Amino acid sequence: MTDAPMVAQHSIAHEAPAAERPGFHLVDPSPWPLVGSIAALVTAVGLIMTMKGLGGPKTGPLVLALGIAAVLFTMAGWWRDVIIEAQTGHHNILVRNGLTLGMLLFIASEVMFFVAWFWAFFGSSLGSNDPQIYGRLDFTGGIWPPKGTEVIDPLKLPLMNTFVLIASSFAVNIAHEELIDDNRQGFKNYLLVAIGLGLLFVAGQAYEYIHAPFAFRNSIYGATFFMATGFHGVHVIIGVLFLSVCLIRAFAGQFTPRQHLGFQFAAWYWHFVDIVWLLLFSCIYIWGSWGATIEGALPG
């Protein structure tokens, strides 16, 4: 008789939906952490080989391409497993809180990643006239941008890209509101607009890189510029992939007004990318080119 309440309670807990059960969901053994680590290592080695010209002109790019393909494969497989867990009811409130905290910590780590590139840029620019930093002033000519450097006009393509990315961020916000209102078609439409604007931004930045008046090599200005803006471009591409996965899930009917944590994370990431670009545009494009020779500008 004394064991009956305990048996009944255990039975109720066993029959309750997984999302309502207490405790964390323990995932099945996953290959993705190991596969992802190997993919990241291959990507880094391929990037170094490409930049240093090791192994010939074809070996480095081939290793880099294989590494990137492996990273994309890992992302697809890992996201698929997490989506399956969510759809089968394993993400209870504790798991969702843990995922939210993990996403916030991930974005915080990304903030520090970009702090490093801003630090490099400001350290190079503010110390351009200090011989104790560079050893000799002819490295930059004692000015910033370095003497003889033509810079990109920030009020042309960079300004257009800024408006494009801001508009994309607004589209993501509207898509979220449409989802909350259970307007599935509006949600998909605005999400598609956000993805299209993101691709337009990437195309604009690619065009800017191809026609840039300075190079990555042999220029501290070019190195800091391309590293900061280039890694931001990579994050935009990742954000577009993130939103594209959400669009596919939207067409599959997997998001509801109450359950859309995956899209919420994608929206946070996209807003983070937008904020970083505003800082890049303000600091590197506007402030960093102040008083410099603008590409294509008429003398005088």
The residues near 3 (Cβ < 8 Å, ≥ 6 apart) are none
Per-residue pLDDT at 129: 58
Closest Cα to residue 189, out of 199, 198, 180, 179? 179
pLDDT tens by residue, 83-111? 888 888 788 888 888 889 999 999 999 99
Flag whether pLDDT at 23 surpasses 90: no
Flag whether pLDDT at 10 surpasses 80: no
Per-residue pLDDT at 297: 56
Spatial separation of the C-alpha atoms in residues 174 and 102, rounded to whole Å: 25
Phi, psi of 133 (to 5 degrees): -85, -45
- Domains present along the chain, CATH in parentheses: 1-91 (1.10.287.70), 104-300 (1.20.120.80)
| pTM metric for this prediction | 0.81
Could you list the beta-strand ranges (E) of 52-192: 150-151
Better pLDDT: 92 or 279: 279
Closest Cα to residue 185, out of 99, 250, 235? 250
Mean local confidence (pLDDT), 241-262: 90
Flag whether pLDDT at 3 surpasses 60: no
pLDDT tens by residue, 221-240? 889 999 999 999 999 999 99
Tell me if residue 254 falls in helix, strand or coil.
Answer: coil
Per-residue pLDDT at 8: 39
**What tokens appear for 148 in the block?**
């003889």
pLDDT tens by residue, 181-211? 999 999 999 999 999 999 999 999 999 999 9
